[in-house]
Structure 1
């Protein structure tokens, strides 16, 4: 074999190796888009956040915020900061009072009027992804015992948010979730069911107890009830640093659960299309709930490093 021929063969082999490596990387990528939810616009200017190169965020807003100038100002600042950072906002309607069993359930007319104002205000700022009602089956939400009203809100949202991407139903992976889903679908008019194309899941329990049963049950129940190819978004999840007595303050445990969060997303990748981890800003365990990737002073926690590394094999 001549020197020139040997050189050509060597280059060909190197090229094939390189291509196989690229193919392996592409195959390893999980096609679940990852975002990060928070309620503070300062997140977007943090160097550690910028290093993540995220393109999606989630923000929840009280259904009656249109009559609350202070809340509108905070939301305006968040949406504008996200837009400046070229991050797409998914906005989720919620009860403004998170105390358990204290929320006031708005009528459908009130929902259409108040939420309609929010939709018009923030669509002008580029917000075209909306959630009908945050964590509808949890007792911090006034929809907790009324899946029928939550279904009516879905129909209302479709009428006030034309050409929007809508998360029709959003549930927590807690006992009774499948029953809530069943009653919700029963309350949606048949003519509207095919438009319920996205269902949100808060799978905190699965993520932080390192299981998958709650997520699996929710997906299975939705598939039994719908007649469309429903996509699922993990609209709120994450590694809990502290939460009451069940999860005492522990940053290392939270980092481990962030890793498991990504494993769950990969496990359910045929159905799950997005993952929104919550949240950015921690409280140094001074509040009942803390799941932040950074501490109060802005320094990163171990969970941040795990999150950043896992992002390499996920979509944005």
Structure 2
């Protein structure tokens, strides 16, 4: 791996106090009284890799602009994670052109991950960790002075480790940090995903999309109560004390629709606060 830094922006050390953020797509979150009560100044948004160049993405681009503007008005620093748009996986040249257009359109955004969950088994990119690494390299080269995280991975530990080893071989810059979605750890109150990443990487680890989950598909665990998810949240926020390289936790999500297949909201669909909200409130203050 090259010794050149991926980012010239100072990165908080793992020894510093934990930074808490929220990962959510809704700009309305920033003006919500319950959000303003939290001492949270970091938030994450996922956008399609080609949101700034594809005519089919004009609505999504307008939504991203509203989100970024709302975050700025609330004094919140954005982290942008590019992600897939359907089943198509771009070439490195296509990806580079598209993310440069986004960077040009949003010059105030300086924190990025190159691809949300490139190891997601339902997309072909999961079979090509070297291409995912090439997207990281392209984003670093395209955004001078930006903080670019590597990874953004989610696989269970036994699959994460070999995928990450292959990914590492393709990196041409030292990442400013690493992003992980260790949902399996949090649900089972174990640390195998996190320890796999700790073993194979260096530098800060950002859990940039994570939470106790009430309801979701695509995994083996049954739905659970908000109280049980709150206990998972408590476990989650205990991790930085045990593993000091965990420097940031972005809870996902703010509030889900009652009909949504996924619900890990700090607020119930009705708007009432859940027990996980108290955990995040305590951790952020």
Normalised to the residue count of structure 2, the TM-score between the two structures is: 0.88
Separation in structure 1 between the aligned mates of residue 213 and residue 203 of structure 2, nearest angstrom: 28
The superposition leaves residues 159-189 of structure 1 with CA deviations (integer Å, 9 ceiling, x where unpaired) of: 211110001222114131111111111123x
Query: Cα gap change, 1:61/1:140 in structure 2, threshold over 3 Å: closer, same or farther?
Result: farther
RMSD between aligned residues = 1.6
Separation in structure 2 between the aligned mates of residue 278 and residue 220 of structure 1, nearest angstrom: 25
Aligned length: 265
The superposition leaves residues 189-224 of structure 1 with CA deviations (integer Å, 9 ceiling, x where unpaired) of: xxx24x3231111111101111111111121022xx
Where in structure 1 are there 5+ consecutive unaligned residues? 1-28, 98-102, 223-228
**Residue 141 of structure 1: how far off its partner (Å):** 4.2
Where in structure 2 are there 5+ consecutive unaligned residues? 1-14
Separation in structure 1 between the aligned mates of residue 51 and residue 43 of structure 2, nearest angstrom: 19
Greater CA radius of gyration, 1 or 2? 1
Native 8 Å contact 1:94 1:141 kept in 2: no
What residue is the counterpart of 2:187 in the other structure? 208
Separation in structure 2 between the aligned mates of residue 179 and residue 243 of structure 1, nearest angstrom: 26
1:303 and 2:276 correspond = yes
**Residue 287 of structure 1: how far off its partner (Å):** 2.1
User: Comparing both structures, which one devotes a greater share of its residues to helix?
Assistant: 1
Separation in structure 2 between the aligned mates of residue 60 and residue 305 of structure 1, nearest angstrom: 25
**Residue 37 of structure 1: how far off its partner (Å):** 0.7
1:109 and 2:98 correspond = no
Separation in structure 2 between the aligned mates of residue 253 and residue 150 of structure 1, nearest angstrom: 35
Structure 2 counterpart of 1:179, from 126, 137, 162: 162
Larger RCO, structure (CA 8 Å, separation 6 or more): 2
Structure 2 counterpart of 1:253, from 205, 228, 245: 228
Normalised to the residue count of structure 1, the TM-score between the two structures is: 0.80
What residue is the counterpart of 1:278 in the other structure? 252
> What SS does the corresponding residue of 1:57 show, helix, strand or coil?
strand
